[in-house]
Structure 1
Amino acid sequence: MEGSSVTLTCSSDANPAANYIWYKENINSLHLLSEGPQHVLRSIQTSDSGQYQCRAQNMLGTSFHWVTIDVNYAPRTPSVSVSPPGQIMEGSSVTLTCSSDANPAANYTWYKENINTVISTEQNFTITNVTTEHGGNYQCEVQNRVGRQITTKHLVVRAAVPLGTLELVVIGTSIAILLVVVDVSLIFLIRKKRSPRQVAEPGERPGYRSGRDGTWESEYTVVEYSGVKVNHSEPRPSNEVTDEDTAALYSTVKNHCS
């Protein structure tokens, strides 16, 4: 048992009396431990498991004997893994695996919270067609003749989203993004149109712009409504509408309508 004290004693009939040497096998080699008929292991650990050799020798020859030590120990704290990892969706399948180091090998028992009955005695516990009722705490008990350990795993099951609803969410999100893009584009275009005209450079004639052939072209705004032209006497931004424009348009429309 792990933690106990173990004494190895070696004896051999020999004349003259034999000398004793203790070795431990270590990866196909021998590690010298001590000399004398006894070798003591105090508070033995799992690392002390293995093959030990007692070698007896005198001037006439040598003989040896092997002994095996197997250290038993209670299960270590078990761990539980979930496959597949991540969120467990309703309708899917999930497997819980409980693992623990123990000697001798441990037995596994699964319980669910508030349920005294055993739901599985296998190391791997699988749930098919998961529902939200399968969510909760699961206990894995690991036990051998030396001792026992228990660990708990909380399982969260997410309700499945209907396919139609998911599609609507995607479509609605796409439309919202498109509307935002359109709004931003319109705001940028309006601001660009309302930007003030640049100040005339030296040598330029106010109200005119230089043509390709070097002549000056009038920048005066000409508004035409059904053959009626309204010329402004002063240059102004093309996007500015004055009271004169409104009156001319009203008069033209009124004459046509009458």
Structure 2
Amino acid sequence: MIAVLLFLLMRPGTVSTDGTVTFENPDYCALKGSSVQFKCLYNYSDVETVSQTSWFKGVIEDGIFQRVNLSLIPSYQNRWEYRGDHQHNCSLALHDLQDNDTGYYFFRFDTNKYGWRSKGSVYLSVTELHAEVKPQRARAGDNVTLNCRTSCHYPNIVWLRDGHLVTKPKFTAKAEDAGYYSCCVEGHKSVQSDPMALAVWYSPLNVSIEVSHGEYLTEGSNVSLTCSSAANPAADAYTWYRSGVSSSNSLLRVGSGQVLTISPVEASHNGLYLCQAQNRLGKSNSTAVLLAVGEEGLSRYTVLKIGVLVIVVLLLPSLVIIWAWRRRRNSRNSASDKETDSHDYENILSITEVKITTPN
């Protein structure tokens, strides 16, 4: 047993208090809500036998520092656990740590001859994790930094966004990065910091048009086109444009507001319709919706559809070649120059068919 005690005395960080009690670590730092274990060893003469062991907390009562048995402190009820024995192990575990658990702890044991108590102590510091998100309001493309503050040293901090793992504490803000961030120590996900919100501002994305009527319309009926988008802050201005089927490069402004209502539908309404959503950060256009009015409109639509099909067929081989060349070039450069995600969204004109026929 003497050899064991000498071994502990020689270990880095091991402190001998009075020759009878040895604390493995005199200074602990732990998270609020977690558990901690004080490891210690006590020794006595061979002619003695241990009859009782006790742990005490140092408290100040009426201006006087006293040692109070943990079993007599109501706040420690069902939270402390003696993991030692009546031989030489005097380890103590504390669970669900609270702020007022910070302080000094002492050990005492009684034998059939003497009562021994440690002159030295174990000091426990209870701390919390505090998440910082800078800035808390960012525009898409801004740099965001996550910082987890604590008085303890934890090199293995883990970040979560709405409960999902975040791989990097520094990143370029995108729309999908908005949410609530919290930090924890790896392996202790149950003890997390209070969440901190990140708001990401961005111009309208995924602008689209929804048509109120069914697939087949009759001239003289009503039709409403509704524009929607994802944006933060929400889009506060909508502008509608129309172009003729035969001259899609020329756009004519035909209305404003989130909903464009055409009543009644006439042949002059034939053409491509698109909406532009805007907030204070920017604007973006939707894909186009085709209104083919009457027989003339349907004929133009058919010609346009065939023309688009022919163009696609003619351009497809060239597009395949270009795609293969760019993929090969990107694979060569990926090792030295990794591309970052782009937040500029290109509006691609596509055609959604809405047929409007004249009644027989």
TM-score normalised over the length of structure 1: 0.46
TM-score using structure 2 length: 0.35
Bigger strand fraction: 2
